[in-house]
Amino acid sequence: MKGLRLMENFKIDVDADGIALITFDVPGRSMNTLTGSVMDEIPQWVERIKSDDAIKGAVVTSGKTSGFCAGADLGDIAGGMIGGTSLQDAFDAGWKMNGALRALETCGKPVAAAINGLALGGGLELTLACHYRVVGDSPKIQLGLPEIKVGLFPGGGGTQRLTRLIGVQAAMMAMTEGKSFRPNDAKGASFVHEVVPVGTEVEAAKAWIKGGGKAQQPWDDKGFKLPGGGPYHPVGVQNFIVGNAMIRKQTYGNYPAATNLMKAVYEGIQVPMDAALRIETRYFIKTLMTPQAQAMIRSLFLSKQELDKGAVRPAGVPKSDPKKVTVLGAGMMGAGIAYVNAMAGIETILIDQTQEAADKGKAHVEELLKKRLSRGQLTQDKYDALLGSITATTDYDLIKGSDLVIEAVFENREIKADVTKRAEAQLAPGAIFGSNTSTLPITGLAEASVRPEDFIGIHFFSPVDKMMLVEIILGEKTGEAAIAKSLDYVQKIKKTPIVVNDGRGFYTSRCFATYVAEGLAMLEEGYAPALIDNIGRMTGMPRGPLEMHDDVALDLSVKVAKQTAIDLGDKYVPLQGAEIVRKMVEDLGRYGRKNGMGFYDYSTKPKTLWKGLSDLSPVTINDSTPELVADQRQRLLYRQAVEVAKCWDEGVINDPREADVGAILAWGFAPWTGGPITFIDQTGLKAFVAKADEYAERYGDRFKVPQFLRDMAAEGRTFYGDFAGKQKAAA
């Protein structure tokens, strides 16, 4: 069309039937995302569809093999929305997508989406603005609006279109959970029209247009009725009464996005679509400007993405591609590692002391693979190949040819030393030995190695198949090649890595322990156990400190404490509540969730607090005033953040991105804060130090901050400010 400049991200082909095929293909990227330039071009091809008489209808599809669209490029889009000089500037930037997609659905010609890969966030919102949606029948395809996971909610019409398609209750559940749907589930939920064989999506979409597809959305029809009813419907009103309570229960008020999402839906469904989209945009911009959203976007999107792509990988070391990995120890952890290896296409040797133990580990992998097979996520041939890639054995000779050995045996220095020597005897030069220890210093374990430059910590989290973080720990003699190869391995198994320096408990285990220990300190002080765990959940942690201690196992804590006492001698200082835990384990046989007895009893569902706990620690504080709860919430967060500052001071960790992402992914540090470093920065260093000093006076030196933090506070510096300065200087 005359006057239309060539587009970089979209290609338009009009066939003999007058159907325009709009192919979305961002150059230089493996996956389509909604960048600023993409947003500039959408109105262009929408105008082309509308005004070109030769075009009778249009099909939107992806030119990528990896997916349709993974959503907005938040580093690009969000910066423009919060970087304006006024609220009007921010609204105009936020409205850009809503305005473009509204123009698409009102262009007067039928538009179908041929979804040939995953469509998430803004990617799905683009398809919802089309009049018809066809999806390929592939278990790899996911459809969803996951924005809540980074502190936002859908801002491209998703709150209004999805609700009008599937009703308030279903839409709110999908959006507040960030739920992803497989193709047939999406069709069953009524926001996809057809599921067709892979490769026929465009053909099916064109067939709908040629068959007389209607160029109007249901909500633009005068007779449209909202599925399930709106806020003044006898049934529909319950969605908001119950939904408001559920959001409060799930978020404890920590996530403005969830509350603003419900407001946008509540207000939006009562007005025509044009007004509804303006309401959504206002609440979206309001949410985007909150500290919580900005913190979560930085840590859980931008920083995580940078780490996933190898931001901390040593430069100058050739890229490696591990083909064969040996796992020593076939318990739950070792079996979990074998599973993620198999899923990444890595041949795995799974070794244990007995064939029975090795087979049991492989059987666990088989269970996980069977779940995927039953869900249609694997074919039988693929299932057989993955299971066949794992060899369960007791034979150390089979280690030969491995690029990497991961030791996941019992947390005992002597046992680890023995398997290290036996395994290294089979390794070729340049192969890496990684210990999955969660607490024992790597430098000490490396003393058993004849090649300490190739010895490194590779710390997984349980359950391995679900936990996305891997903590890489450097010993004093660990070489750059070992670091690079370890990071290449983590990238291949699709986990997020952080790299930390050696120290007892490293970074994650050490800081996580303070959350549990502070909960035990509250128990010793006489706080009611239920109050302790409720306060823990209210901070935004995934569980209270007592129930989380049950999850990681009380007997493990006792074993770690004993090993630490042996290693440190006179310098050993027991953590708070250590004696209570020792009595529970050694005198009462209460090991936690794994044997059904810990701080909680698990013989009934739901679990109940153990009644005998009051005999070990009598309750004297059961007061849940708002002031007390707010203070103790801060106490739990501050205790963890102070320990992170101590780790920084001691050189255990020195990158704010790794500190924040690692804390959230490893032990669930309140995601709404963006992580402990962001928590300190956003609190303000002066205010943080002052509050920590107050807690130190009340509870002890464990809250005392390092001197460097006082210096930073006095100089008006921040962690991320210093980091940005270093990056700029390096560039």
User: Which string of DSSP letters, residue by residue, matches 183-202?
Assistant: HHHHHHHTS--EEE-TT-HH
Considering the domain architecture, whether residues 486 and 616 belong to the same structural domain is answered as no
What is residue 215's three-state secondary structure?
coil
| Angle at which helices 256-268 and 236-251 cross, to 10° | 170
Classify residue 691: in a domain, yes or no: no
Q: What is the CATH number of the domain that holds 610?
A: 1.10.1040.50
> What type of residue sits at position 163?
T
Classify residue 584: in a domain, yes or no: yes
Classify residue 389: in a domain, yes or no: yes
Q: Give the model's pLDDT for residue 78.
A: 64
| Angle at which helices 74-82 and 87-105 cross, to 10° | 130
Q: How far apart are CA 356 and CA 340, in angstroms?
A: 21
**H/E element, 458:** strand 455-459
Considering the domain architecture, whether residues 141 and 23 belong to the same structural domain is answered as yes
Q: What is the mean pLDDT of residues 290-300?
A: 95
Which residues are known to be catalytic?
471
Considering the domain architecture, whether residues 408 and 392 belong to the same structural domain is answered as yes
Considering the domain architecture, whether residues 512 and 561 belong to the same structural domain is answered as yes
Report CA Rg, the chain: 28
The residues facing 181 across adjacent strands are 143
As given in the structure block, the two tokens for residue 222 are 């005068």
Instruction: Tell me which DSSP letter residue 621 carries.
Output: B
200/574: higher pLDDT: 200
Domain boundary among 461, 483, 505: 505
Q: How far apart are CA 556 and CA 584, in angstroms?
A: 12
Q: Give the model's pLDDT for residue 4.
A: 44
Domain boundary among 505, 530, 565: 505
Q: How far apart are CA 522 and CA 23, in angstroms?
A: 59
Considering the domain architecture, whether residues 149 and 260 belong to the same structural domain is answered as yes
Considering the domain architecture, whether residues 247 and 101 belong to the same structural domain is answered as yes
Q: Give the model's pLDDT for residue 233.
A: 84
Q: What angle do CA 529, 630, 632 make, to 5 degrees?
A: 45
Considering the domain architecture, whether residues 496 and 517 belong to the same structural domain is answered as no
Considering the domain architecture, whether residues 498 and 512 belong to the same structural domain is answered as no
Q: How far is CA 563 from the centre of its chain?
A: 33
- Backbone phi, psi, residue 444, to 5°: -70, -45
Considering the domain architecture, whether residues 134 and 242 belong to the same structural domain is answered as yes
Q: How far apart are CA 48 and CA 252, in angstroms?
A: 47
Classify residue 229: in a domain, yes or no: yes
Considering the domain architecture, whether residues 277 and 364 belong to the same structural domain is answered as no
CA atoms within 13 A on the CB side of 363: 7
Closest CA to 202 of 332, 112, 297, 334: 112
Q: Give the model's pLDDT for residue 3.
A: 36
Rounded to two decimals, the pTM is: 0.93
Classify residue 617: in a domain, yes or no: yes
Closest CA to 184 of 105, 123, 115: 115
Confidence of residue 75 (pLDDT cuts 50, 70, 90): confident
Encode pLDDT of 35-74 as tens digits. Answer: 989 999 999 999 999 999 999 999 999 999 889 999 998 8
Strand 404-407 to 432-435 pairing: parallel
C-alpha distances in angstroms, 669 versus 663, 673, 676?
5, 8, 7
Classify residue 73: in a domain, yes or no: yes
As given in the structure block, the two tokens for residue 413 are 């220095």
Q: Give the model's pLDDT for residue 81.
A: 58
Q: Quick check: 189 and 166 in contact, CB under 8 A?
A: yes
DSSP for 554-573, written as a single string: HHHHHHHHHHHHHHHGGG--
Classify residue 310: in a domain, yes or no: no
Q: How far apart are CA 489 and CA 478, in angstroms?
A: 16
Domain that holds residue 109: 10-289
Q: Give the model's pLDDT for residue 566.
A: 87
| Angle at which helices 508-524 and 529-538 cross, to 10° | 140
Map tokens 């928590």 to a residue: 679
What percentage of the chain exceeds 90 in pLDDT?
A: 85
Q: What is the mean pLDDT of residues 148-174?
A: 96
Q: Give the model's pLDDT for residue 5.
A: 46
Q: Is the pLDDT of residue 731 over 80?
A: no
Mean pLDDT score of the chain: 94
Q: Give the model's pLDDT for residue 1.
A: 38
Q: How far apart are CA 84 and CA 90, in angstroms?
A: 6
As given in the structure block, the two tokens for residue 622 are 């059961």
| Angle at which helices 554-568 and 545-552 cross, to 10° | 80
Encode pLDDT of 310-364 as tens digits. Answer: 999 999 999 999 999 999 999 999 999 999 999 999 999 999 999 999 999 999 9
Q: How far apart are CA 163 and CA 169, in angstroms?
A: 8
Q: Give the model's pLDDT for residue 80.
A: 57
Q: What is the mean pLDDT of residues 683-701?
A: 98
Q: What is the mean pLDDT of residues 136-150?
A: 95
Encode pLDDT of 123-139 as tens digits. Answer: 999 999 999 999 999 98
Map tokens 């047939």 to a residue: 184
Dihedral class, residue 190 (left if φ above 0, else alpha if ψ from -120 to 50, else beta): left
Map tokens 């699709």 to a residue: 494
The alpha helices in 129-182, defined as continuous H runs, are 158-166, 168-177
Contacts of 148 (CB under 8 A, 6+ apart): 175, 176, 177, 178, 255, 257, 258, 261
Q: How far apart are CA 96 and CA 100, in angstroms?
A: 6
Q: Quick check: 637 and 673 in contact, CB under 8 A?
A: yes
Q: In the chain, how many domains are there?
A: 3
Q: How far apart are CA 435 and CA 429, in angstroms?
A: 18
Instruction: Tell me which DSSP letter residue 150 carries.
Output: G
Strand 143-144 to 180-181 pairing: antiparallel
As given in the structure block, the two tokens for residue 86 are 């006024």
Considering the domain architecture, whether residues 413 and 491 belong to the same structural domain is answered as yes
**H/E element, 414:** helix 413-424
Classify residue 95: in a domain, yes or no: yes
Q: What is the mean pLDDT of residues 358-371?
A: 97
Instruction: Tell me which DSSP letter residue 69 carries.
Output: B
Confidence of residue 728 (pLDDT cuts 50, 70, 90): confident
Q: Is the pLDDT of residue 626 over 60?
A: yes
Q: What is the CATH number of the domain that holds 415?
A: 3.40.50.720
What is residue 642's three-state secondary structure?
helix
Q: Quick check: 438 and 457 in contact, CB under 8 A?
A: no
Q: What is the CATH number of the domain that holds 239?
A: 3.90.226.10
Q: Quick check: 147 and 178 in contact, CB under 8 A?
A: yes
Q: How far apart are CA 11 and CA 64, in angstroms?
A: 13
Considering the domain architecture, whether residues 569 and 588 belong to the same structural domain is answered as yes
Q: How far apart are CA 601 and CA 550, in angstroms?
A: 10
Contacts of 255 (CB under 8 A, 6+ apart): 148, 151, 292, 672
